[in-house]
Chains A and B, each alone.
Chain A
Amino acid sequence: MNETRHRVTLKVNGVVREATVPGRRLLSDCLRHDLGLTGTHVGCEHGVCGACTVLLDGEPVRSCLMFAVTADGHEITTVEGLARGDGEPSPVQRAFSECHALQCGFCTPGFLCAVTAFLRDNPAPSEEEALEAVSGNLCRCTGYQNILKAVHRAAEIQASEIQAAEIQAEEGGA
């Protein structure tokens, strides 16, 4: 069958990427199969598990519940784009590692993307807010306790980095 294909341009992790895809290509599949970014994982493919969560123009969304053509012209951040330019893991990634917030790791890319956006909007969350933030992501290994610890640890790391940057800026200015 000859399906019409559409040319889409996405800015993925800061890099402009192009792909030619049928209208029904899910964003998750476009990232994995057309662009070779297999860090985004696909679990349930109907929006329940959250493994495929990516950032669309900075907001976390389910990449399995969006067509690549709809994302044309938008910015996407996947788990591959969370680390800093020099390869140093982001505060959220370091916190997940420190707190053993993963076991098999299948769900981790989704958690990392969701938590990264959450802590940007809410840098000092309460227990309840952190729980709500990860409630849309399923993990079958950890029992979630260490994931919740990691959310708070990431908030700490982030806060200390901001503080350090401020001190450095002050000293630099003096």
Chain B
Amino acid sequence: MKPPPFDYHGPVTLGEALDVLAEAGPDGKVLAGGQSLIPLLNMRLAAPAHIVDVNRVPGLDGIEAGQDGVRVGALARHAAVERSPEAAALPLLRQALRLVAHPVIRNRGTVVGSLVHADPSAEMPAVLALLGGSVRLAARGGEREVAAADFFTGPMESALRPGELAVSAFFPALPGRSGTAFHEVSRRHGDYAVAGVAAAVTLDEDLRVTAARVACVSVGPVPVVVDVTTACGPRPAGSAGWEAAAAAVRDRIEPEGDIHATADYRRHLTGVLAVRALRDAAAAAHGEEA
């Protein structure tokens, strides 16, 4: 179908964009990559009165890596982040991005847009939640930085208020001797995940697990982060109790059943994926040490 009518705004500065958004209030919607918004418009599931296209706003496509992590601007496309040498400092970004839809969609879709869309089956919100990152929200007259734990408030709902523009997201770096992995199962390559698990494991000098966390997708209203350090550590990574960790994950999640998978199957799958992701993350952490 075709999108419903709306007033189109194409601001060329950040100030202008924030002014238009402030005036539009709850009737305004930001358009960046459009790979989630335009399908919603085409299917007439959304009908905002004002579309604020930020694609011409300069300075929003940055990807900057520092000692403490990687900051990704609102117009940084998935493909740009995937190929960026800066973002390579955080391998989890690439591990997750290769699972996001298809390459052609990744040419337009943005990382920050995916966060704001807050689909509970999406990969990037899980990455932000796992790393304990944050989203910077700008509005006319001020900015605020919202932690991932407070940002995702429900399925397709975030802490973004009317009049605000998510200008960037920050993905914190992990301590030394850390590794990550992302595994998911979808019915077809590039589809929404039936279940998925991102894992981060940190080892000490003797290669014992000192920290282990997972973030699960498609098994709750928001990405579900489970700290499994107690279940894994402080045993050597080689003999870590991944099964105990998987059990802890299965206990924590509250999946729902749908046409694609029952709740029990999703729970089982998440446990299996947690073992795989934790094992691979530990191996990556070990590899970094070697």
Q: Tell me the minimal C-beta distance from A123 to chain B in angstroms.
A: 16
A60 touches B3 (CB 8 A): no
Q: How many of chain A's residues touch chain B, expressed as a range?
A: 20 to 34
A147 interface residue (CB < 8 Å to B): no
Other A-B pairs, 9, CB within 8 Å; known A23-B8, A24-B5: A24-B6, A45-B1, A47-B38, A47-B39, A47-B105, A50-B102, A61-B107, A72-B10, A132-B189
Q: Give me 28 A-to-B residue pairs in the complex whose CB atoms sit less than 8 angstroms apart, sorted by A's number.
A: A4-B7, A23-B5, A23-B7, A23-B51, A26-B3, A29-B2, A46-B39, A46-B43, A47-B39, A53-B104, A59-B79, A59-B107, A61-B104, A61-B108, A62-B105, A62-B108, A64-B42, A65-B34, A67-B53, A70-B34, A70-B55, A114-B104, A135-B190, A136-B101, A136-B102, A136-B103, A136-B104, A136-B190
B102 touches A65 (CB 8 A): no
Residues of B in contact, count (CB < 8 Å): 30
**Smallest Cβ-Cβ distance to B109: which chain A residue:** A65
Residues of chain B with a CB closer than 8 A to A4's CB: 7-8
Neighbouring A residues of B34 by C-beta, 8 Å: 65-67, 70
For residue A99, CB closer than 8 A to chain B, the reply is no
A1 beta carbon closer than 8 Å to chain B: yes
A22: interface (CB < 8 Å) = yes
- In Å, the complex CA distance between A125 and B123 comes to 26
Residues in B with CB closer than 8 Å to A135 are: 102, 189-190
In Å, the complex CA distance between A114 and B41 comes to 24
**Which residues of A pack against B, CB within 8 Å?**
1, 3-4, 6, 22-24, 26, 29, 45-47, 50, 53, 56, 59-62, 64-67, 69-70, 72, 114, 118, 132-133, 135-136
Given contacts A47-B105, A133-B103, A135-B189, A65 and B8 within 8 Å (CB-CB): no
- Given known A-B contacts A4-B8, A65-B39, A70 and B53 have beta carbons under 8 A apart: yes
In the bound complex, residues from chain A placing their C-beta under 8 Å from that of B10 are 69-70, 72
The reply to whether the CB of B31 lies closer than 8 angstroms to some CB of chain A is yes
Most buried by B among A6, A45, A66, A67: A67
B154 at the A interface (CB under 8 A): no
| Chain B residues, CB < 8 A from A6 | 8
> B41 — which chain A residues lie within 8 A by C-beta?
24
Q: Say whether B176 faces chain A, with CB atoms less than 8 Å apart.
A: no
Kindly list chain A residues whose C-beta atoms are within 8 Å of the C-beta of B7: 4, 23
User: When A62-B108, A136-B190 are in contact, do A24 and B103 touch as well, CB less than 8 Å?
Assistant: no
